[in-house]
Amino acid sequence: MEMFLATKSNSFIIGPIASVMGWIMNGIYKMLDGLFSIQNLGLCIIIFSIIIYLLMTPLQIKQQKFSKLSAVMQPEIQKVQKKYAGKKDQVSQQKMMEEQQAIYQKYGVSPTGSCVQLLIQFPILMALWQVIQNIPAYVDSVKAVFTNVMNNIVSVSGYSDILSKFVTDNNMTRVRLIMENDVVTKNSVIDFLYALSPSQWAQLSEMKEFSSFSDAINTTAAEISGMQNFFGLNIADQPWNYIKAAFAGGAILLAIAALMIPLLSWATQVLNIKLMPQAAVQNDENNAMAGSMKTMNMFMPIMSAIFCFTFPVGLGIYWISSAVVRSIQQILINRHLNKINMDDLINENMKKLEKKREKAGLPPQKITNQAHQNVRNIKPVEKGISNTDSSEKNRKLEESYQKAANAKPGSITAKANMVRDFNERNKKK
């Protein structure tokens, strides 16, 4: 899986969101530096993840409320699906959809309720990822560290080809050099420098093309290494490199620390999934979607661990910290939802639904539901209908007429009353 760095996202949706998040990340760095003289990007990533996911708490609560109601609705929905199992005609499918929609209306939720929350969260998470993987683009103080070396590199004739060969020889799949007028842009050079591991910095300083400013390269490497140090690990380096170095006679403790990154990523992802409320449909072994979800929940933590071996340590820190925050968040949300009475939750949803319908100029949901029910109950008059049924029908009609007696003048109901009165007078004659 390839992952590319790019200088500040300029996409239509993610770009502005990433800029806002970059402002938060920049503020965190300046606060730590100004108040505590701490210049550590690993710590910034952790604090950044905590703040962003706390801000997303309302979205998480809404999503979990839907999941809680979904678990209650599923038996009813499955009953409807079983009722129309094997019926593929248009009429049956339409009736099934209407009955399922009635169930959602009963609980005051929309079938797309969960999807809406996910659609809102997706660009936020993508923007979050963008900031984490390309901190210099959003944190001015970090970008400034690379400026001197960047200016020296772009002054070298043919530097674009030199950097391209370096990226290829070192298999730097995370880096995509951005070209403009056939040369690598300055911001792209900074992206390249930020992605360098300690060993790659040493290799860069030894290149004959850059020998005139090798001291500047070593100075920058030392400065950024201090900023990227997290419990002895460089957040730009890969855990797998530390593990390989241990087998070649490197530091065992660093290898163990590096190994903890993918292991903790797996463990926190598993914990996060276990804490998520599971809908009733997931317990149905015959349901294909349930099987897919079960498989995905099993493999996602495994894939997270695998990626963490070859991704930079900084991204692993982000995955772990965000999973821990989500788990704590989920525990608190579960406790909150367990205290909420289901009827109260449904009434709350119905009130919100009524307000939306009122704004849209639609009739109240209860009236609409009753109307739908009345339509479904209309049947053709059959031969042999009993006098009791006929009398009951007339009684209900008379009640309806009486209720409509106070209709607003000029309304359809008022005109219908006039027609009725006219017919009654003619009968008397």
Q: What's the whole-model pTM score?
A: 0.71
**Residues 293-348: tens digit of each pLDDT:** 677 778 888 998 999 998 889 989 998 999 999 899 888 888 887 887 777 777 77
Question: Rounded CA gap, 100 and 374, in Å?
Answer: 18
Chain-centroid distance, C-alpha 14: 13
Position 360 scores a pLDDT of 67
Q: Is 132 left (phi over 0), alpha (psi -120 to 50) or beta?
A: alpha
Confidence of residue 113 (pLDDT cuts 50, 70, 90): low
126-180: pLDDT as tens digits: 888 888 888 998 999 999 999 999 999 999 999 999 999 999 999 888 788 989 9
**Which sequence spans correspond to the domains of the chain?**
14-134, 139-237, 396-424
**Range 236-241 average pLDDT:** 89
Our CA angle for 190, 193, 199, nearest 5°, is 175
What is the per-residue pLDDT across 155-166, written as a single tens digit (0 to 9) for each? 999 999 999 999
* DSSP state string for 362-389: PPPHHHHHHHHHHHHH--PPPTT--HHH
Q: Tens digits of per-residue pLDDT, 249-260?
A: 878 999 999 999
Q: Is the pLDDT of residue 116 over 50?
A: yes
